[in-house]
Structure 1
Amino acid sequence: MSLDAVMAELREFRDRVTGVAESAVASVDGLLVAADTDGARPEALAALAAATLGLGKRTGHEVGLGDLREVVIRCRQGYIVVYAVRAEGLLVVLADEGLDVARLHLAAQPTIDRLGTLLSGSRAR
């Protein structure tokens, strides 16, 4: 896996989607892979996003709604969105309150697919 390629994906995603302020990629166990952050502590963000992803996955399965796509948390000043990246990773996005969540979901899918390929490439070596 190329850290430069992951960072390029994160920066391109932020530039392409209005409202996205920060993002990070982590493993499902909360280990930071890469972060495009200014204010958030990347290691803490990765760990908390992994816990959020785990709870979302377990809840989805418990109630029979299938595999998790994303968890959206809406706060007073913005959003935290955690996306599953295949079985091995996650993408966490911090966005401002003006975010168009539907647009984010549409724009995120190609990025998630590319990140999945990059993360899978690191396991194959």
Structure 2
Amino acid sequence: MAVEAEVLNELHRLRTRMPQLTGALAASVDGLVLAQDMPGVQPEGLAALTAAALGVGHRMVDLTARGEFCELLVRGAGGYVATYAAGPSAILTLLADGHANVGRLHLEGRRSGAHIAGLMAARHTPGPASSAQAYPAVPPVPPAPRDRPLSALPTRIPRQYRPQRGPDHGG
């Protein structure tokens, strides 16, 4: 069974477990639809927005030193849009109505995200056949030559770059 079909089955099972979900989408981190179960919503547009939100989420957690991106929750007047990391190559977005239990939404979203991550990892794992023929080894890149060794750098700061001292400069 193709990975996309297995991901779609996971989305169907997720919507069965949680009836408050109105849609589910699995997309690549590049914004391409892997599988979707979203009646009435344009999946390509949501996949692209999800990829953009993922980028913003990554920047936010990096800037605030909060570790690796895990999830993002947006609440609108009509319900929730929840986005979960599904490994390094995929992302899961769930739509839920306003009566959804947010704790349950997170629980189910995290479980499904982890399952989809496993499916995607299996997709990229080389099989028993040697992958060396399909992907030849890339030779290592030699380090760039340095203009001069560190020992040749000046040990004193030139006078023009030193802080000014005087009545206007705190001294």
TM-score scaled to structure 2, two decimals?
0.70
Q: Distance in 1 between matches of 2:18 and 2:92?
A: 14
Q: Among the aligned pairs, what percent are the same residue?
A: 34
Alignment of 1:86-101 (within 5 A): 86-101=87-102
- For the pair 1:117 / 2:118, whether they are aligned, the reply is yes
Q: CA deviation at 1:86?
A: 1.1
Aligned to 2:83: 82
**Structure 1 alignment gaps of length 5 or more:** none
Task: Letter of the 2:69 partner, please give it.
Answer: L
Compare relative contact order (CA 8 Å, sep 6+) and give the higher one, 1 or 2.
1
Q: Distance in 2 between matches of 1:56 and 1:5?
A: 27
Alignment of 1:4-15 (within 5 A): 4-15=5-16
Runs of 4+ in 1 over 4 A off after TM superposition: none
Higher strand share: 1
TM-score scaled to structure 1, two decimals?
0.94
Q: CA deviation at 1:19?
A: 1.2
Higher helix share: 1
Q: Distance in 2 between matches of 1:109 and 1:18?
A: 17
Aligned to 1:105: 106
Aligned to 2:153: none
Higher Rg: 2
Q: SS of 1:14's equivalent?
A: helix
Q: SS of 2:19's equivalent?
A: coil
